[in-house]
Structure 1
Amino acid sequence: MASPAPALLTDDADPSFAELLAGRPHLAQHAHDGLTMEEVPLARIAREVGTPTWVYSAGTLRRRYRALRDALDEAQLGAEIHFAVKANPNLAVLRTLAAEGAGADIVSEGELRLALAAGIAPAHVVFSGVGKTPGELRFALSRGVGQINAESAEEVAMISAVATELGVTADVALRVNPDVDPKTHAKITTGKSGNKFGVAIEDAPDLYARMAATPGLRPVGVAVHIGSQITAGMSAYAAAYRALAELVLALRAQGLAVERVDCGGGLGIPYRHEPAPAPAALAGAIRNTLGNLGVKLMVEPGRWISGPAGVLLAAVIIEKHTGSRRFVILDAAMNDLVRPAMYEAWHGILPVSPADHVAPVSPCDVVGPVCETGDTFARNRGLPRLEPGSLVAFLDAGAYGAAMSSTYNARPLAAEVLVDGARFAVVRERQTQEALLAGQRLPAWM
């Protein structure tokens, strides 16, 4: 059956394959090897490891970390970079960034254990999050984490109780909510008054003063994080940082010590053709608002560093034609990459084969095999005719990809691979069907 005619291009047309490649220097299309990451053909990884598989570029992780580091240094901020482990908790990814000097921003005991296993010093770890348990706080304080970001008066009391029990003093920053709209997706906005995060900024002076008189605590500063995938310029950052600067001055006017300001993260990346805010712009926003306060500054990037470094490699099961619709059904599914289903997120999709790369394209819906209509990666996407076994790569999948995957429909977790120049290695083995059953037990009465 003939494929439907190509859709007419509009001003909102998707980027071409060439445009997608041009913005991702770690990827290239070769006439013989097809799509490669650094010097490794993705088809080779598919042959040796199988699909679906996450593939990360070590060179890109380093390059993007250094670009952010250079921008902060050129602005003379002396800011520490704490990678947001929630974006990509793979141990090899964390070790690559730790070797560059990155610290860690963590939100659970599990993420702290990963950061420590990756070689990140406890003193270079910031523990964020609205729901830290007493057990997690006990573990973090016993390991000597550098800073805990408290998000409520109730949590301040909990930290005090745990620190007192252990006989230690916790360095605590107060996370404030500045009620700033970063113009990002509602599900990843974290700095508006209706969000669950932080303390209302008008309540912060009183709580910070109480923290100074609370046993087991040493209030060291303030923190903010207004959201993720922020691409609408620096105005939201500047507004949040101005509010923080005013708060620091107000606290010092009360005779309270403020040594640190945690600026959060959230710098966005261009998945489709969104504006791409540069690290230098973020550094400028920090310098212009917080640069003269004499505080130690911190940033918490996640997506900006690891997002472009990863792809999800998948294979075509079949193409299906129903009426006028063409469906490309892959062996990857929403349990692997949930962002399109959860956030209506757009990911570039490139064919791996050199022949497919130059073949005529026509609109199709790219879907997975999970039994939900929500298991849809793209609608009306231009792709060539793809035979069973053809490979495609989802771009910019290095953040909130594998980290958010699940075993829905009893589908094992995909393998993860790290590429570094001409070499690659499996850095998380594909979960086996046996492992899916391993933790389950039948009750005695069965």
Structure 2
Amino acid sequence: MTIYQSFLPAAGTLDGVDLPTLAAHLPTPFYAYSASAIRNRVTQLQQALKGLDARLCFAVKANSNIGVLNLMAGLGVGADIVSLGELRRAQRAGIAASRIVFSGVGKTEEEIAAALVAGVWRFNLESADELALLQAVARRQGVIARAAVRVNPDVDARTHAKISTGKAENKFGVGFDEARIWFDDAARYPNVRLDGLHAHIGSQILELAPFEEALGRLATFWRELRDDGHIIESIDVGGGLGVCYRAGTDRPLAVADYVAAIRRGLEGYRGRIVLEPGRHLVAEAGVLVTRVIRVKHGQERDFLVLDAAMNDLMRPALYDAWHDMHPLHAEPRPLQRYDVVGPVCETGDTFARDRQLPRCEAGDLLLIAGAGAYGASMGSNYNSRPLPAEVLLDGGRYAVVRRRQSFEQMLAGEQLPQAWHAA
């Protein structure tokens, strides 16, 4: 059973909140997140990790709403960030900089400087150029930056090509040979304390074998470094745990099996183990509530036209991703097949093709499941559409954690040309 199903005791109810009633107060589309479901996932992972010196750092890119991040902070979860904006969001939400890791291949000098001032726990370094830049900025500030080398273990995560990050052909991390040079030349970087390893092979992984293979290669490298006298105080195993987007088809790994693989793979290691879960913690806890604008009867098929669009939920257009859908009907209806689409002027603005659903009519509400990760955080104003509201639900209560964007807010950074300058 998926998270959203376990918190859906009656049709249209999520975490004790009646979604049709909520839709009468808020314009659709809107995102709704179950706080209970998120707590459930975090607690489950924390319990599985008992006995290990482990730190959870939520991948902010999965869901960067400060209401969700504040919930993570209250559960003792840190943050994995990839930009200065995500650093500021995490701090605004109450996550201490000492519990933040800074990842990403394109950290700028400005971002590194700001992160050092803030006091982030460590940097996951992905290139020799970045290592040199971190040394220069840390020297100017008179501080010691803690860092881990992101190694690319050249492991096929067996996931979608666009979210696979651990193969040699991907842009992430460096090979073991280059990483070894960094450790051997550590004296050249006196303001960088290079004492960690990091590997993240991809996202939405539904098999244990890729994790085991990556952990094996990472552990072998750690032992080689240890035997040569290098102290490795943390090993970051990344994230990647898959979730159920398609009931009856997707079979996510059990958390206990995943953590057991970490224990086996890093047996004998006594430093801190870092995990960067993102999708696993929030995807199934979130839904996108949308309303049917009309049913269009085409020449070859019927189109269910929603008020949500690809700018609200990009995953189907970007990855051909499947999301389960549930009309919020009070009464049973016969099944019918639809192409489920949005109003954006793109053929790619399609949520599902030839999907069988209970018959829908204009004005009906539809729940798009598994939308808590890489939904709102990837949203845009394409076609000049406002960003939707986001709502946090918790045991029968709800709180709006992002108001629906107004037209004036959408235009806030724009202006007509008032002064021209020669370049």
TM bin, normalised by shorter chain, reads over 0.9
Change (3 A) 1:405 1:112: same
For the pair 1:243 / 2:217, whether they are aligned, the reply is: yes
Q: Which amino acid aligns with 1:27?
A: L
For the pair 1:215 / 2:190, whether they are aligned, the reply is: yes
Matching of residues 239-278 of structure 1 within 5 Å: 239-272=213-246, 273-278=249-254
Give, in angstroms, the shift of residue 275 of structure 1: 1.4
Change (3 A) 1:351 1:250: same
1:177-232 Cα offsets, whole Å, 9 max, x none, are: 0000010000000000000000112221111222343121001110000000001x
Give, in angstroms, the shift of residue 353 of structure 1: 2.1
Q: 1:46 aligns with which of 23, 29, 39?
A: 23
The residue matched to 2:157 in structure 1 has which SS?
Answer: coil
1:325 corresponding residue in structure 2: 301
Q: 1:294 aligns with which of 270, 281, 293?
A: 270
Distance of 1:212 and 1:285 partners within structure 2 = 34
Distance of 1:168 and 1:284 partners within structure 2 = 37
1:63 corresponding residue in structure 2: 40
Q: Is the Cα contact below 8 Å between 1:174 and 1:208 reproduced in 2?
A: no
For the pair 1:113 / 2:94, whether they are aligned, the reply is: no
Give, in angstroms, the shift of residue 77 of structure 1: 2.1
Unaligned runs of 5+ in 2: none
Distance of 1:333 and 1:265 partners within structure 2 = 28
Q: Is the Cα contact below 8 Å between 1:212 and 1:219 reproduced in 2?
A: no
1:400 corresponding residue in structure 2: 374
TM-score with structure 1 length normalisation? 0.92
For the pair 1:24 / 2:1, whether they are aligned, the reply is: no
Q: Is the Cα contact below 8 Å between 1:205 and 1:250 reproduced in 2?
A: no
Distance of 2:157 and 2:326 partners within structure 1 = 30
Q: Which amino acid aligns with 1:388?
A: A
For the pair 1:314 / 2:290, whether they are aligned, the reply is: yes
Q: Is the Cα contact below 8 Å between 1:156 and 1:211 reproduced in 2?
A: no
Q: 1:90 aligns with which of 45, 61, 65?
A: 65
Give, in angstroms, the shift of residue 254 of structure 1: 2.1
Q: What fraction of aligned residue pairs are identical, expressed as a percent?
A: 49
Give, in angstroms, the shift of residue 253 of structure 1: 2.2
Q: Is the Cα contact below 8 Å between 1:181 and 1:192 reproduced in 2?
A: yes
1:7 corresponding residue in structure 2: none
Distance of 1:20 and 1:104 partners within structure 2 = 25
Give, in angstroms, the shift of residue 289 of structure 1: 1.1
1:11 corresponding residue in structure 2: none
Give, in angstroms, the shift of residue 442 of structure 1: 1.6
Give, in angstroms, the shift of residue 28 of structure 1: 3.0
1:435 corresponding residue in structure 2: 409
Matching of residues 170-181 of structure 1 within 5 Å: 170-181=145-156
Give, in angstroms, the shift of residue 285 of structure 1: 1.0
Q: Say what the alpha-carbon RMSD is for the aligned residues.
A: 1.3
User: Which stretch of structure 1 is more off in the superposition, 336-345 or 194-203?
Assistant: 194-203
Q: Is the Cα contact below 8 Å between 2:337 and 2:354 reproduced in 1?
A: yes
1:391 corresponding residue in structure 2: 365
Change (3 A) 1:160 1:424: same
Change (3 A) 1:212 1:124: farther
Distance of 1:123 and 1:298 partners within structure 2 = 13
Unaligned runs of 5+ in 1: 1-18
Q: Is the Cα contact below 8 Å between 1:315 and 1:331 reproduced in 2?
A: yes
Q: 1:284 aligns with which of 252, 256, 260?
A: 260
Give, in angstroms, the shift of residue 20 of structure 1: 7.1
Q: Which amino acid aligns with 1:416?
A: E
2:77 corresponding residue in structure 1: 102
1:421 corresponding residue in structure 2: 395
Distance of 1:211 and 1:28 partners within structure 2 = 56
Distance of 1:248 and 1:325 partners within structure 2 = 57
Q: Is the Cα contact below 8 Å between 2:2 and 2:244 reproduced in 1?
A: no
Matching of residues 90-169 of structure 1 within 5 Å: 90-169=65-144
1:270-294 Cα offsets, whole Å, 9 max, x none, are: 1112111011111111100113121
Distance of 2:186 and 2:292 partners within structure 1 = 57
1:88-120 Cα offsets, whole Å, 9 max, x none, are: 001111111111110100111111111111111
Q: Is the Cα contact below 8 Å between 2:30 and 2:289 reproduced in 1?
A: yes
1:16 corresponding residue in structure 2: none
For the pair 1:335 / 2:311, whether they are aligned, the reply is: yes
TM-score with structure 2 length normalisation? 0.96
Give, in angstroms, the shift of residue 44 of structure 1: 1.2
Change (3 A) 1:111 1:337: same
For the pair 1:347 / 2:323, whether they are aligned, the reply is: yes
Give, in angstroms, the shift of residue 297 of structure 1: 0.4
Give, in angstroms, the shift of residue 78 of structure 1: 2.5
2:175 corresponding residue in structure 1: 200
Give, in angstroms, the shift of residue 428 of structure 1: 0.2
Q: Which amino acid aligns with 2:204?
A: Q
Distance of 1:260 and 1:182 partners within structure 2 = 23
Q: Where has structure 1 moved over 6 Å in runs of 4 or more?
A: none
Distance of 2:419 and 2:72 partners within structure 1 = 50
Distance of 1:422 and 1:294 partners within structure 2 = 43
Give, in angstroms, the shift of residue 147 of structure 1: 0.7
Give, in angstroms, the shift of residue 322 of structure 1: 1.1
Distance of 1:28 and 1:314 partners within structure 2 = 20
Distance of 2:29 and 2:405 partners within structure 1 = 11
